[in-house]
């Protein structure tokens, strides 16, 4: 039976990031990356993969920092209950 890895809480707040239209981003879902909120490959061996996001417009977005969101890569306030 494979051990399930629980994502590490990187921070209990969103990461506010200015994204560029048409640019691809890879959100860290494991919480281990040293380049939060983005993937640096630290998830290897955890069974968790980064999540691809492509910006459709240039704007500021709130990427999830607690890694418990139910809204894809974006903060949904779940950190408030941790």
Q: Are the CB atoms for 14 and 42 separated by under 8 Å?
A: no
Q: DSSP assignment, residue 36?
A: T
Model confidence, pTM: 0.91
Q: State the Cα angle at 49 between 53 and 70, rounded to 5°.
A: 60
pLDDT for res 1: 47
Rounded to 10 degrees, the C-alpha dihedral 5/14/60/57 comes to 30
Quote the CA–CA distance of 73 and 51 in Å, as a whole number.
7
Q: In this predicted model, what pLDDT tens digit does every residue of 24-63 receive, in sequence order?
A: 999 999 999 999 999 999 999 999 999 999 999 999 999 9
């Amino acid at each position: 039976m494979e051990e399930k890895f629980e994502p590490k809480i990187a921070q209990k707040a969103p990461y506010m990031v200015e994204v560029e239209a048409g640019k691809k981003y890879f959100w860290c879902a494991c919480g281990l990356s040293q380049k939060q909120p983005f993937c640096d490959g630290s998830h290897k061996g955890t069974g968790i993969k980064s999540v691809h996001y492509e910006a459709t417009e240039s704007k500021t977005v709130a990427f999830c920092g607690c890694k418990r969101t139910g809204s894809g890569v974006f903060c949904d306030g779940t950190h408030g209950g941790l």
